[in-house]
A and B are shown apart, each in its own frame.
Chain A
Amino acid sequence: MSNNKGFSHPYVPNAEPGIRQRLLKTVGVASTDDLYASVPDALQVKGLLDLPDPLPSEHDLRSHVEGIIGQNVSCRDHLNFCGAGCWQHYVPALCDEITGRGEFLTAYGGGTYSDHGKNQAMFEFQSLIGELVGMEVVGSPAYDMGAAVNSAVTMACRITGRRGVLLSGGISGDRLSQIRGFTKPVADLSSIGIDPATGLINLDDLKAKLTPEIGAVYFENPSYLGLIESRGAEIAEIVHAAGALLVVGVDPLSLGVLAAPGDYGADIVCGDIQPLGIHMYAGGGCAGFLASRDEERFVSEFPMILMSIAPGVEEGDIGFAWSTMQRTSYDKRHDSEDYAGTTQWLWGIGAAVYLSLMGPQGMDEIGRGILQRARYAAMQIAKLKGAKVPHLDGAFFKEFVVDFSASGKSVAEINAGLRAHDIFGGKDLSGEFPMLGQSALFCVTEIHAKKDIDKLVDTLAEVLS
Chain B
Amino acid sequence: MSGKQSDFQAARWNEALIMELSETGARGIVPPAMDADIAAAVGDVVAALPAGARREKLPQLPEVPQHRVLRHFMRLSQMCMGFDVTTDMMGTCTMKYSPKVHEHIARSAKLADVHPLQGEQNMQGLLELMYRFNKIMCQISGMDEFTFQPASGAQGIYTNACLIRAYHESRGELAQRNEIITTSFSHPADAATPSVAGFKVITLMPGEMGYADVDALKAAISDRTAGLMLTNPEDTGQYNPHIREFVDLVHEAGGLCAYDQANGNPLLGKVRAGDTGFDMCQFNLHKTFSAPHGSLGMGCAAVGVKDFLRKFLPRPLVAEADGGGYRLDYEQGEGIDKIRAFIGNIPAVLKAYSWVMSLGAEGLRAVAETAVLNNNYMLKSMREVRGVTIPWPANNYPKLEQVRYSFEQMFKETGVTSHDVIDRMVDYGVQHCMPSHMPMLVPEPFTMEPGESLTVAEMDQMLAALKAISHEAYSDPEKAQGGPYNASTTRIDSDVPEDPDCWAFTYRAYQRKKGHWTSESRRKIERHSGGY
Contact = CB atoms under 8 A, between A and B. Distances in A.
Chains A and B directly touch (beta carbon < 8 Å)? yes
Contacts of B284: 342
A286 B84 contact: no
A45 B275 contact: yes
Contacts of B297: 141, 287, 342-347
Contact of A359 (B26, B136, B152, B162): B26
B276 A43 contact: yes
Given A131-B508, A333-B438, A86 B31 contact: no
A94 interface: yes
Interface residues of B, number: 221
Contact of A337 (B195, B357, B497): B195
B251 to A, nearest CB: 16
Interface residues of A, number: 219
A193 interface: no
A250 to B, nearest CB: 12
Interface string A145-177: 111000000000000000000000000001001
B341 A146 contact: yes
Interface stretch (A63-71, A209-217, A238-246, A399-407): A63-71
B207 interface: no
B66 interface: yes
Interface string B291-331: 01111111110000000000000000000000000000000
A158 to B, nearest CB: 12
B22 to A, nearest CB: 8
Interface string A169-200: 00000100110111011100000000000000
B78 to A, nearest CB: 6
Contacts of A28: 380
A108 B293 contact: yes
A416 B90 CA distance: 51
Nearest to A69: B125
Contact of A177 (B41, B60, B337): B337
Contacts of B125: 68-72
A369 B32 contact: yes
A232 B51 CA distance: 11
Interface in B66-82: 66, 69-70, 72-82
8 contacts: A12-B359, A54-B358, A117-B15, A147-B151, A257-B46, A319-B489, A341-B154, A450-B37
Contacts of B84: 102-103, 105-106
Given A126-B505, A282-B116, A353 B272 contact: no
Nearest to B38: A376
Contact of B55 (A110, A255, A338): A255
Given A68-B129, A144-B340, A379-B42, A88 B271 contact: no
B171 to A, nearest CB: 17
A74 interface: yes
B27 A334 contact: no
A264 B26 CA distance: 29
Contacts of A56: 358-360, 363
A326 B497 CA distance: 12
A256 B84 CA distance: 37
Given A101-B73, A283-B343, A333-B438, 8 more contacts: A7-B362, A131-B60, A229-B53, A324-B503, A333-B439, A334-B182, A346-B292, A424-B118
Given A49-B361, A120-B17, A257-B46, A14 B370 contact: yes
A349 B69 CA distance: 12
Contacts of A186: 198
Interface string B428-459: 00011010011100000000000011111000
Q: What are the 6 tightest A-B residue pairs by CB atom distance, in nearest-first order?
A: A54-B360, A283-B342, A181-B337, A185-B198, A341-B154, A102-B84
Contacts of A76: 109, 113
Contact of B32 (A58, A146, A283, A446): A446
B296 A311 contact: no
A91 to B, nearest CB: 8
A85 interface: yes
Nearest to A109: B90
Contact of A126 (B150, B151, B506): B506
Given A313-B491, A379-B41, A52 B360 contact: yes
